Chain A
């Protein structure tokens, strides 16, 4: 497998997370930071090359050999430094540049212009990314995670099965007939293991299930299965930072009642100016009376977005015990994410990890489009399974054969076929055709070509 030469500028919390993930993926990573202590530490822990200096300094970039970099990521705490260093890097010959741009000023109307003028491949706003993820969770409240693929209308939705779920105790092949909906259970996580199920697989309570369905069918299916809860109407957000702003904006634009509790008066004023439809409360969210007074008990969802991980986790647990159906917790420190999940908070969102995931996928896409025939590659189920997207060329021998007759290697599932931008949830009688896109699900196995799925 070929690797991508990547330069990461800024080794703060986000930068370190990104370069750790990229180095784990076997890429050639060069880290730049102007703090010699930080950079020394990075060099000791990760297999990366380190350069001490500023990302806007040409001689530093030259030392990092920016001209041969395929991907240049700037994620210092300053938007301006990020944009400038990406601009310089691009001018010096970096192939793709990605800047972390946080300030809403740049993000609202100017972003397209900035991206074009600076020739950025991508501008990533971790706050907005997190808000989008939370929005997805709120729109499909029973889903743990939603992975959208390059073709918009194909998604893998992860749900946790509860004790009373009607999906349990039935063979998968019977499930489909039972609900008469077009859906496919493609991956099951049980404990620490991941299974690619066949028709005889029986689900158990507590399983984490990844399924695909046509978007219109999902709501229908969930209703039929009795999983669909009532639609989210009232959302309470604790903390009025940037993520809260983006999330409140998205939610209120789609007609949800949003209430933000923020301790800082100035922030409250600003929020109420920017978001006229949102109710902004000035108060301390750690006070139980305030939460009850503002209707915690009747909220459909509670999102805790304060700056303190510990506070977010505690208040989220408190909200869960008061039967708020959906509780989302923002956690920044990666070590805390696992701990929080163990406490029973299943919607823990880490902006840092989201950003890192996006960049890892970006690097993989760069890598794969160059080396193999994989279009894109995604990790699902806590990185225990991989979803690969392939273009079908005429060289593939499996075209025109019904899927049930294809001799696949064990542990491989064809999760979807995309034909002229329409997603098909495949059954045994569907065939792969030339120029289709095929979505393959497998357990962490690296496949380079679509032919590799066949025995």
Chain B
């Protein structure tokens, strides 16, 4: 266990957070919110001091890291980031309770978008900006950002990246990890900026456009209005719908498009499956909600928006789907599990895992019919390793266990019903945001007790980092000296 290296990396990440906090500080200065200015300034000073002290004290002589260090670095980096990230909320007095502030920050960084706030519109601009900016950072990953910026002399850094990036198989798109991270962030930035401009064209105010672009890009979903996106024009809702779909797509495909390699993109199974599921779900929901809206265009818009929002695990809403018929709610419930494509900013189980599991089921059924048959399962034109198939099924089991545990703990809450607790746990584990009942799109998580909030906070972290990193960090043997 290379402990020095772990703390050194965390020190670097905290220093980076201090730099990134300058942005909301600037926004606060622009809006002359002195309360926020002092809150952000104090946080920046603390982060800089802690970060620099840590990277100086723990300067490692041996930079070699193995898989376990990778997992531990990622876990602790996210916990430290969240702890420091919630300081501005507490210091400015806008979210005075620690559990609330921690929940809100983790919800932001993990791109869940679940909020404990009862009245979003009462918050200051600086706080709102930081809340949404955490989505943007957490979407692609803070450690990936570190790798893109800082010189890396470590080939094994792929372990860190693999622990932070979602999906069953994390590959590089160019030989060097630093360049891969850079390219991913450039694509991410350009797409975010494109959405920002398109929202501006639709006459959304500058501040709202920026905040919503961040929220969509990270597939987060923190709104700044009580009715989320519902109050904006149909054009703006469509723009956000399309970008939610785009940010749920594997970023490697965008790189292939830049290289003008269209064939692998158009033959990408995961992409078609992703789009197909969304189209089918949107069709059913349109049929189901048509009687409510009595307008074809409204029904299509609302169903498409909600489907894109749930599948990409964003969590924006234009309508309160709590009030929709059970058929529509049923479809949305199932969609909460799926998540976007691997290698995107979306959370959830990931479409590629769903495909792999379906293929495994088909293979096993065939194998029962023809016990001597020899069959290789192929995915994206390549034979699938048995080890990867196993890890996907194990992951799925673990994922169900995680949701079950979260759900049982929530059931101790006296004032919440079964539906709310169930969807709250699923929504947080999958980084979606809204659920049904008391945690619906127009309500919030504010009613839960501090302990339940902490449980949900960790459920979000588990979901974002895909369970294993945190689980391994809690495993005592990981920490044993070699």
8 Å CB interface, B130-171 against A: 152, 154-159, 171
A47 touches B159 (CB 8 A): no
A47 touches B174 (CB 8 A): no
Assembled-state Cα–Cα distance A43/B155 (Å): 9
Assembled-state Cα–Cα distance A157/B238 (Å): 73
User: 0/1 per residue, A22-40, Cβ < 8 Å to B?
Assistant: 0100011110000010000
A30 CB contacts on chain B under 8 angstroms: 175
Assembled-state Cα–Cα distance A44/B382 (Å): 20
B176 CB contacts on chain A under 8 angstroms: 28, 47
Q: Is A216 an interface residue (CB 8 A)?
A: no
Look across to chain A and name the residue whose beta carbon is closest to the beta carbon of B64: A45
Q: Is B73 an interface residue (CB 8 A)?
A: no
8 Å CB interface, A10-32 against B: 23, 27-30
Contact of B174 among A36, A43, A49 (CB under 8 A): A49
A44 touches B177 (CB 8 A): no
Q: Is A48 an interface residue (CB 8 A)?
A: yes
8 Å CB interface, B380-416 against A: 382, 385
B175 touches A5 (CB 8 A): yes
8 Å CB interface, B34-85 against A: 67
Q: Is A46 an interface residue (CB 8 A)?
A: yes
B175 CB contacts on chain A under 8 angstroms: 5, 27-30, 47-49
A46 CB contacts on chain B under 8 angstroms: 155
Classify chain B's interface size.
10 to 19
User: 0/1 per residue, B176-192, Cβ < 8 Å to A?
Assistant: 11010000000000000
A52 CB contacts on chain B under 8 angstroms: 382
B159 CB contacts on chain A under 8 angstroms: 44
Q: Is B3 an interface residue (CB 8 A)?
A: no
B174 touches A45 (CB 8 A): no
8 Å CB interface, A46-68 against B: 46-50, 52, 65
A23 touches B155 (CB 8 A): yes
B385 touches A47 (CB 8 A): no
| Contacts known (A28-B175, A28-B176, A29-B175); A43 close to B385, Cβ less than 8 A | no
Assembled-state Cα–Cα distance A391/B159 (Å): 43
Q: Is B172 an interface residue (CB 8 A)?
A: yes
A43 CB contacts on chain B under 8 angstroms: 158, 172
A48 touches B385 (CB 8 A): no
Look across to chain B and name the residue whose beta carbon is closest to the beta carbon of A6: B175
Assembled-state Cα–Cα distance A358/B131 (Å): 54
Look across to chain B and name the residue whose beta carbon is closest to the beta carbon of A62: B261
A36 CB contacts on chain B under 8 angstroms: 385
**Shortest Cβ distance from residue A37 to the other chain B in the assembled complex, whole angstroms:** 9
Assembled-state Cα–Cα distance A46/B177 (Å): 10
Assembled-state Cα–Cα distance A7/B81 (Å): 39
Look across to chain A and name the residue whose beta carbon is closest to the beta carbon of B173: A49
B156 touches A49 (CB 8 A): no
Look across to chain A and name the residue whose beta carbon is closest to the beta carbon of B259: A65
Assembled-state Cα–Cα distance A50/B154 (Å): 17
A45 touches B172 (CB 8 A): no
Assembled-state Cα–Cα distance A77/B157 (Å): 30
Look across to chain B and name the residue whose beta carbon is closest to the beta carbon of A43: B158
Look across to chain B and name the residue whose beta carbon is closest to the beta carbon of A26: B176
Assembled-state Cα–Cα distance A45/B382 (Å): 23
Assembled-state Cα–Cα distance A5/B175 (Å): 9
- Residue among B154, B157, B175 with most chain A CB within 10 A: B175
- Residue among B154, B155, B173 with most chain A CB within 10 A: B155
Assembled-state Cα–Cα distance A345/B173 (Å): 45
Assembled-state Cα–Cα distance A3/B67 (Å): 28
A48 CB contacts on chain B under 8 angstroms: 155, 175
A44 touches B385 (CB 8 A): no
Assembled-state Cα–Cα distance A5/B177 (Å): 14
A28 CB contacts on chain B under 8 angstroms: 174-176, 179
**Shortest Cβ distance from residue B162 to the other chain A in the assembled complex, whole angstroms:** 9
**Shortest Cβ distance from residue B243 to the other chain A in the assembled complex, whole angstroms:** 29
**Shortest Cβ distance from residue B18 to the other chain A in the assembled complex, whole angstroms:** 28
Contact of A45 among B152, B156, B177 (CB under 8 A): B156
A50 CB contacts on chain B under 8 angstroms: 171-172
User: 0/1 per residue, A257-298, Cβ < 8 Å to B?
Assistant: 000000000000000000000000000000000000000000
User: 0/1 per residue, A230-266, Cβ < 8 Å to B?
Assistant: 0000000000000000000000000000000000000
**Shortest Cβ distance from residue A275 to the other chain B in the assembled complex, whole angstroms:** 44
Assembled-state Cα–Cα distance A45/B70 (Å): 13
User: 0/1 per residue, A416-433, Cβ < 8 Å to B?
Assistant: 000000000000000000
Contact of B154 among A5, A47, A65 (CB under 8 A): A47
Contact of A49 among B67, B152, B157, B172 (CB under 8 A): B172
B158 touches A44 (CB 8 A): yes
- Residue among B152, B159, B176, B259 with most chain A CB within 10 A: B176
A47 CB contacts on chain B under 8 angstroms: 152, 154-158, 175-177
Assembled-state Cα–Cα distance A105/B419 (Å): 76
8 Å CB interface, B337-373 against A: none
B155 touches A45 (CB 8 A): yes
Assembled-state Cα–Cα distance A1/B172 (Å): 22
A44 CB contacts on chain B under 8 angstroms: 67, 156, 158-159
Chain A positions within 8 Å of B, measured between CB atoms, are 5, 23, 27-30, 36, 43-50, 52, 65
10 A-B pairs with C-beta separation under 8 A: A28-B175, A28-B179, A43-B172, A44-B158, A45-B156, A47-B158, A49-B172, A49-B175, A50-B172, A65-B259
Among all A-B residue pairs, the 8 with the closest Cβ atoms = A47-B155, A28-B175, A49-B175, A46-B155, A49-B172, A29-B175, A47-B177, A48-B175
Q: A28-B174, A36-B385, A48-B155 are in contact. List 14 more A-B contacts (CB 8 A).
A: A23-B155, A28-B176, A30-B175, A43-B158, A44-B67, A44-B158, A45-B156, A47-B152, A47-B154, A47-B158, A47-B176, A48-B175, A49-B171, A50-B172
